């Protein structure tokens, strides 16, 4: 059964695998590393897997464009879950290597800016060369090509290496956000602490178009959590926007904002509503609760019958 298989951005031993293993259902799935984000997602599109875990955002490096662009184009996919993984690297060496012997280090290009200051302080002479992934870097150390690799401490065992230094991270609060992606279906059930994601294409590029788009959220009291502009491929100056907002599709304010965007925009791709990994809850502005929406709807229906106003309803 393919739905019992989850792909992820491999190889084995990367942070993505560590993130995937934090999901309870991972224990009962076959976890398959893939060589790239597109490969992991295409396996889902082609029904060879039931889900794929891929990184979407890093607090140091920013959006993972391969993921964002794959979600925005091609056959539709949806996000069902997000995972926040604090990022801390270990410096993996072959057993016996000492810090003073490390002349060459490797790791994923994304790792480099996250350990740059540590390197300057502790290994100022070391030569950096990029590897295809952190895990791949570990393998290259195993093979003797480099002296040390930055990777997750959990990768040491896989490659027979020793974590010489652990918990390396230049930035406090460094974290990577991953999303569990599946084929379109019912969104995850609302939990009260949810977010929703969409991709938006502006209808035309008039001044103020982006402002109008944001006002569709603001007018309904829906808070924006992230906005990422991406080129559409149509030339410099042509962008679409991936937006995360607070709340669930089934929240009235979110539903109305999304319908507003659908009317305003040239295109809207709904990417799902799912529990927030940070557990945060929206600060509701007065008049934006589901109750307020339903009461307003009742009132409108009564207006159609000339019974809009109940005694005492206006000051």
> Which residues, numbered 162-191, are part of the site for its own copies (CB under 8 A)?
171-175, 177, 183-187
Question: Which residue number, 194 or 216, has a Cβ lying nearer to its own copies?
Answer: 216
Q: Does 127 sit near its own copies (CB under 8 A)? A: no
Question: Which residue number, 157 or 214, has a Cβ lying nearer to its own copies?
Answer: 214
Choose the binding region for its own copies from 18-26, 76-84, 118-126, 142-150 (rule: CB under 8 A). Answer: 76-84
Do residues 195 and 91 make contact, with C-beta atoms less than 8 angstroms apart? no
Question: Which residue number, 162 or 262, has a Cβ lying nearer to its own copies?
Answer: 262
Question: Which residue number, 20 or 161, has a Cβ lying nearer to its own copies?
Answer: 20
**Least distance CB 26 / its own copies (angstroms):** 21
Q: Does 230 sit near its own copies (CB under 8 A)? A: yes
**Least distance CB 308 / its own copies (angstroms):** 4
Footprint of its own copies on 41-60 (CB under 8 A): 57-60
The size of the interface with its own copies (CB under 8 A), counted in residues, is 97
Q: Does 124 sit near its own copies (CB under 8 A)? A: no
Q: Does 229 sit near its own copies (CB under 8 A)? A: yes
User: Which residue among 54, 240, 247, 251 contacts its own copies (CB under 8 A)?
Assistant: 240
Q: Chain centroid to CA 205: how far?
A: 27
User: Which residue among 136, 147, 216, 251 contacts its own copies (CB under 8 A)?
Assistant: 216
Q: Does 247 sit near its own copies (CB under 8 A)? A: no
Q: Does 154 sit near its own copies (CB under 8 A)? A: no
Q: Does 61 sit near its own copies (CB under 8 A)? A: yes
Q: Does 100 sit near its own copies (CB under 8 A)? A: no
Q: Quick one: three-class SS letters along the chain? A: CHHHEEEEECCCCCHHHHHHCCCHHHHHCEEEEECCHHHHHHHHHCCCCCEEEEEEEECCCEECHHHHHHHHCCCCCEEEEEEEEECCEEEEECCCCCHHHCCEEEECCCCHHHHHHHHHHHCCCCEEEECCCHHHHHHHHHCCCCCEEEECCCHHHHCCCEEEEEEECCCCCCEEEEEEEECCCCCCCCCCCEEEEEEEECCCCCCCHHHHHHHHHHCCCCCEEEEEEEECCCCCCCEEEEEEEECCCCCHHHHHHHHHHHHHCCEEEEEEEEECCCCCCCCCCCCCCHHHHHHHHHHHHHHCCCCCCCCCCCC
Q: Does 259 sit near its own copies (CB under 8 A)? A: yes
Question: Which residue number, 1 or 185, has a Cβ lying nearer to its own copies?
Answer: 185
Structural tokens at position 249: 């599709």
User: Which residue among 97, 142, 193, 215 contacts its own copies (CB under 8 A)?
Assistant: 215
Nearest in space to 169 (alpha carbons), one of 225, 228, 107, 226: 107
Q: Does 118 sit near its own copies (CB under 8 A)? A: no
Strand arrangement of the beta sheet that strand 89-93 belongs to: 127-130, 104-107, 148-151, 89-93, 162-168
User: Which residue among 42, 136, 228, 251 contacts its own copies (CB under 8 A)?
Assistant: 228
User: Which residue among 180, 260, 274, 275 contacts its own copies (CB under 8 A)?
Assistant: 260
Question: Which residue number, 95 or 304, has a Cβ lying nearer to its own copies?
Answer: 304
Q: Does 193 sit near its own copies (CB under 8 A)? A: no
């Amino acid at each position: 059964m393919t739905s019992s298989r989850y792909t992820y951005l491999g190889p084995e031993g990367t942070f993505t695998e560590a993130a995937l293993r934090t999901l309870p259902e991972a224990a009962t799935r076959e976890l398959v590393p893939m060589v790239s984000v597109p490969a992991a997602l295409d396996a889902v599109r082609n029904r060879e897997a039931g889900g794929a875990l891929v990184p979407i955002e890093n607090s140091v490096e920013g959006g993972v464009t391969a993921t964002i662009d794959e979600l925005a184009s091609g056959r539709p996919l949806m996000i069902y879950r997000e995972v926040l993984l604090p990022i801390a690297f270990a410096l993996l060496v072959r057993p016996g290597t000492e810090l003073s012997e490390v002349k060459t280090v490797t790791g994923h290009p994304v790792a480099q800016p996250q350990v740059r200051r540590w390197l300057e302080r502790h290994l100022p002479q070391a030569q950096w060369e990029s590897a295809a992934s952190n895990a791949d870097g570990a393998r290259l150390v195993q093979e003797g090509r480099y002296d040390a690799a930055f990777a997750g401490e959990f990768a040491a065992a896989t490659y027979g290496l020793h974590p010489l230094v652990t918990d390396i991270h230049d930035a406090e609060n460094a974290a990577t956000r991953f999303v569990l992606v599946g084929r379109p279906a019912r969104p995850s059930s609302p939990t009260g602490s949810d977010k929703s994601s969409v991709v938006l294409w502006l209808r035309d590029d008039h001044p103020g178009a982006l402002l109008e788009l944001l006002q569709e959220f603001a007018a309904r009291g829906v808070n924006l959590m992230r906005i990422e502009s991406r080129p559409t491929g149509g030339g410099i100056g042509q962008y679409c926007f991936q937006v995360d907002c607070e709340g669930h599709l089934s929240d009235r304010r979110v539903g109305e904002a999304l319908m507003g965007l659908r009317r305003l925009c040239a295109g809207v791709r709904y990417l799902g509503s799912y529990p927030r990994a940070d557990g945060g809850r929206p600060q509701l502005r007065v008049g934006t609760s589901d109750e307020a929406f339903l009461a307003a709807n009742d009132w409108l229906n009564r207006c159609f019958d000339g019974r809009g106003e109940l005694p005492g309803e206006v000051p």
